[in-house]
Structure 1
């Protein structure tokens, strides 16, 4: 298991990469994308539960036979449905008779996971809305295969309980912490837009949750844009109040992703993992207390905070509709207009038609 110092190092380097990304446009970012993989593999190597063979094959390798196929899944501990599926072991039971081995690789965050997907170290991943936009803009060969309707109430802009900030308009000239390239990045953009503010009207502090919370509590930043369950934990134990959540601003979808090469060669495995994920998602929706208890052990967050988070999130593994694709395209266009990504992209071009 990687320690906090390693995680902080990875996060700070990732933030530096993000800064260079804005300055050097697409070609430089593509190079840094591969550099970032090394950071992801550091996380993977430090995780005793990760099979080292997950870094072996190329995305252009020959089509596997039925007896040597693998399904290599990237996940985060906070990716509830995938983490539950890993814990339950039902996917392995389903695929073992078919001669398919399942391998799991843990990552610190979505961007690192998509770097691994880009170079063929994993075959399947789950992230929030924003990391796939950045990855596609860097020419990663990702494919959207399904989505999860997490919901806008599961992310928010927080301020301290005693803060004089009462409206989003009051953020003008203030410093706002967020994890760069995460789903809440778009929430911040939309909230500012709705309040008549420009993105340049605030100062952003790009911090991962582990750094953002102490900065928030100590008053080093004026507001924090964060997602559940970290949002709920801040509400219950860090004297945070919600300035605005994403309910009426953003959809806040999660996305299940693969690569074009993998889905072309293994459409049956994609269908089978989605089927198991649907079963797991249905169970999670019906058993919020059990989910909170499981995540408490995994994340080190108290059960009451996790139970609060469970009351405002959605579950499901659903096919990509035109409406969902249009919403993701809107995020991509917004980030391009803000020069957060270096070129326009077409989300519809990377949606699995299976």
Structure 2
């Protein structure tokens, strides 16, 4: 059977695996689905419930069977009644980004964001980081003017004054740091662990276990290669950006990859507690259609295999 794996650059592990040819040794009929080529909805209404964009493709005919994302998409999938199963998580990506503002605009704390325009890639981990930060400051989603930007586009908007604050991520944050002095309102480490994560449909997990295990094993091998060869891995991202007509700095990409954890571990109780807290806050702020229980998406036998594969690599 053909196994379809969804990938895009934001999940660094799957993007590199797509170019390494490792998975094809175990699954000759693997088909890689570039998420950027799939139909995408219009920019999200940042005041209403989040759509489950990634999981819609996971469950659609002709979609894909396996996906890696950031922190928020599996929560929105569950909130939109998608029967997903967690596969594994990376270590904390606490150096990946932070909530920043320009140093000269008078915003000193998260509490000062009331009524301000804050840029995020809505529906990504950035939504969760901002929501956690607001909650800690006694604010809610309705207290700010959230602006949906691409992961990197918000930097230019912060610089020209269109945004008052921005959840920036590396390597895009590097250019903004070079252009102006930034003030960090909240870093990632003080808010949540922010791992990469991978999930699949329950049907695929239950009926295609050998293929799922092959994907996990290939990811472990590829991630070990990234750790040993960060500059060569960075070149895949640079080449992709340049092919699409953009510009990219290999040094910035190498630094970004060196600052991120690679390797897949089983989901932990601490991670599930963070997911549940995020789900509860998203629902309370009208960003999730219903309350959910994230532990309904845990299959212990998958975690056992992930743990064994991590030891083997």
Normalising by structure 1, we get a TM-score of 0.73
Counterpart CA distance in 1 for 2:27 and 2:30 is 8
What is the alpha-carbon root mean square deviation over aligned residues? 2.2
Pair 1:297–1:133, CA change in 2 (3 A): same
Pair 1:125–1:340, CA change in 2 (3 A): same
Q: CA deviation at 1:177?
A: 0.9
Structure-2 residue corresponding to 1:308:
255
Q: CA deviation at 1:163?
A: 3.1
Note the alpha carbon deviations across 1:77-119, whole angstroms, 9 max, x for none. 23211111110111102223xxxx0000111389533221022
Aligned residues: 282
Counterpart CA distance in 2 for 1:343 and 1:205 is 23
Counterpart CA distance in 2 for 1:286 and 1:159 is 35
Task: Give 3-state SS (helix, strand or coil) of 1:205's partner.
Answer: strand
Note the residue ranges of structure 2 that are not aligned, 5 or more in a row: 41-50, 242-246, 303-313
CA contact (8 A) 1:150 1:252 kept: yes
Structure-2 residue corresponding to 1:190:
132
Note the alpha carbon deviations across 1:6-54, whole angstroms, 9 max, x for none. xxxxxxxxxxxxxxxxxxxxxxxxxxxxxxxxxxxxxxxxxxxxxxxxx
Q: Aligned ranges for residues 238-253 of structure 1 at < 5 Å?
A: 240-253=182-195
Q: Aligned ranges for residues 117-132 of structure 1 at < 5 Å?
A: 117-120=58-61, 121-132=63-74
Note the alpha carbon deviations across 1:261-295, whole angstroms, 9 max, x for none. 11111111111110110111122123322233332
Normalising by structure 2, we get a TM-score of 0.82
CA contact (8 A) 1:178 1:206 kept: yes
Counterpart CA distance in 1 for 2:161 and 2:255 is 25
CA contact (8 A) 2:235 2:250 kept: yes
Counterpart CA distance in 1 for 2:14 and 2:165 is 30
Q: Aligned ranges for residues 1-354 of structure 1 at < 5 Å?
A: 69-96=1-28, 101-108=29-36, 111-120=52-61, 121-209=63-151, 211-237=153-179, 240-299=182-241, 300-353=247-300, 354=302
Which fold has the larger relative contact order, with Cα–Cα distance below 8 Å and residues 6 or more apart in sequence?
2
